[in-house]
Structure 1
Amino acid sequence: MSRIGLNPIDIPQGVDINVDDKNLVTVKGPKGTLSEKISADLKVVIEDSTVTVERPTNNKKHKSLHGLSRSLVANMVEGVTKGYEKKLQLVGVGYKANKQGKKLVLNLGFSHPIELVEPEGLTIEVPSQTEIVVKGINKQEVGNYAAKIREYRKPEPYKGKGVKYVGEVIRRKEGKTGK
C-alpha cells in the first residue's frame, strides 16, 4: 500500500503557500500562481519550510484522498518553481508542425491542416518541423493539451506513423507477409 500522503513537502525558497478556511490551497512562486481545492475532510498544515496533509481517520476514502491531496500540492509547488513540459514527435512522411503567431498548425496527412489555438497559461514551442514542446506550470493542463495533440493521429503499430511522446515505445506488429 502506498504511503505517499504521509511524506512532507519541502517549500523551496521564494515559494509562498496559503490555505484559507475553505481548504483552498494557493501556491505562489517565481513562475506564477496555482490554486486547488482540497477535500474538506483533510487538513493542510504549514510548519516552518514544510507542508503536510493530515487525515482524520484511516478509512479507505480518507486514505485515497490523503495521497491525492498530497500529490496535488506537491505538483503545484514543483510547477511554480520548475514548470512542466511534454515533448511530442511527429513520425511520418509529410507530417509536420509549425507555429503561426498563437496558433499551432499541424499537417498530419489529412486533406486540411489542423489549427490549434495556444491556451492561456501554456506555451507551445516548435524547435523543428517534427517536434512540439508543450510547457506550463499546471501539470494537468500540460498533459491534457499534449494528449489532445496526440489524439489527432495516434501512432499506428505497423509503420509507427503518427504523433508520439518522446521516449514512448510503440509495440510494432508484423504486416500481412510476416508468418
Structure 2
Amino acid sequence: MSRIGKKPVQVPAGITASVDGQKVTAKGPKGELFFVANDEIGLKLENNAIVVTPLNDSKDARSKWGMSRTMVENILKGVKDGYERKLEINGVGYRAALQGKNLQLALGFSHDVIYVPPEGITIAVPKPTEIVVTGINKQQVGQVAAEIREYRGPEPYKGKGVKYAGERIVRKEGKKK
C-alpha cells in the first residue's frame, strides 16, 4: 500500500481543479497546468480534494499510484506558488548576466555561453554570481537548472563552476610535494 497515494490532495483556495477521466487540470494565479494519469490509476474530485486510487492490485498500478498523487500535488502547488531553483557561480571571472530574456554566462571558455530559456521559464540574475530559475512546472524548472549547471559543473579541487544553492561539493586533496 502506498502511504503517499492514500492521502487525498487538497485543492487550495484560489485554485480551480477539474478531473476529466484520466486528466487533471488546475488553473490558478500563476497559470494553467494539466496531468494525464496512467490508465491503471483512478482519479476523483470529492470534497474539494483529489483522490488517487489504483484501479487494480497489480504491481504496475501500485507503483504508479504514489507518483500520480505527487504529480497532481505538484501541479496544484505550481499554479498557486510556482517553483524556484537557485544556482551559484564560483570562480575567478565566472559570472552571469541577462541579455533580454537570454542568460549570458562567462565560465572561462573562449566565448560566452548564451542560454535561451524555454517558454514558461523566467531567469533572474540578482548578483553576477547568482542565478534564479522560476516557473510553474517543477520538472521544467529542475531541467533548466540542470542544463545551466551542466555547462561547467563544480570541480572537486577548488569548487569552481556552477552549483545548486546549498549543494555540498565533495572536495579532493591536491598534489603533495
Give the TM bin, normalised by the shorter chain.
Answer: over 0.9
Q: How does 1:1-179 map to 2 (within 5 A)?
A: 2-21=2-21, 23-177=22-176
Deviations 1:63-119 (A, max 9, x none): 111011000000000101111000000000000000010110000000000001122
Distance 1:128 1:119 in 2: 22
Change (3 A) 1:2 1:53: closer
Aligned length: 177
Rounded Cα–Cα distance in structure 1 between residues aligned with 2:12 and 2:72: 13
The secondary structure found in structure 2 opposite 1:70 is helix
The answer on whether the counterparts of 2:40 and 2:56 sit within 8 Å (CA) in structure 1 is no
Amino acid at match of 1:116: Y
2:133 partner amino acid: V
**CA–CA separation in structure 1 for the residues paired with 2:60 and 2:6:** 15
Question: Are the counterparts in 1 of residues 117 and 144 from structure 2 also a CA contact under 8 Å?
Answer: no
Deviates more, 1:57-66 or 1:129-138: 57-66
What is the CA distance between 1:3 and its match in structure 2?
A: 1.6
Instruction: Give 5+ residue unaligned stretches, structure 2.
Output: none
SS in 2 for 1:75: helix
One-letter identity of the residue aligned with 1:61: D
Q: CA RMSD in A?
A: 1.2
Provide the rounded CA distance (Å) in 1 between the counterparts of 2:127 and 2:150.
20
**Superposed displacement of residue 56, structure 1:** 1.9
> Displacement, 1:59?
2.4
1:144 shift after superposition: 0.1
Shift of 1:60: 1.5
Alignment check: 8 A CA contact 2:89 2:162 kept: yes
The normalised TM-score by structure 2 is: 0.96
Letter in 2 for 1:167: G
Counterpart code for 1:3: R
Query: TM-score if structure 1 supplies the norm length?
Result: 0.95
* Cα distance in 2 between the residues matched to 1:107 and 1:2: 46
Gaps of 5+ in 1: none
Identity of aligned residues (%): 54
What is the DSSP-based 3-state SS (H/G/I as helix, E as strand, rest coil) of the residue aligned with 2:85? strand
Deviation at 1:57, TM superposition (A): 2.4
CA drift of 1:2 comes to: 5.0
Distance in 2, Cα, partners of 1:33 & 1:68: 20
* One-letter amino acid of the structure 1 residue matched with residue 163 of structure 2: K
> How far apart, CA to CA, are the structure 1 residues paired with 2:20 and 2:51?
15
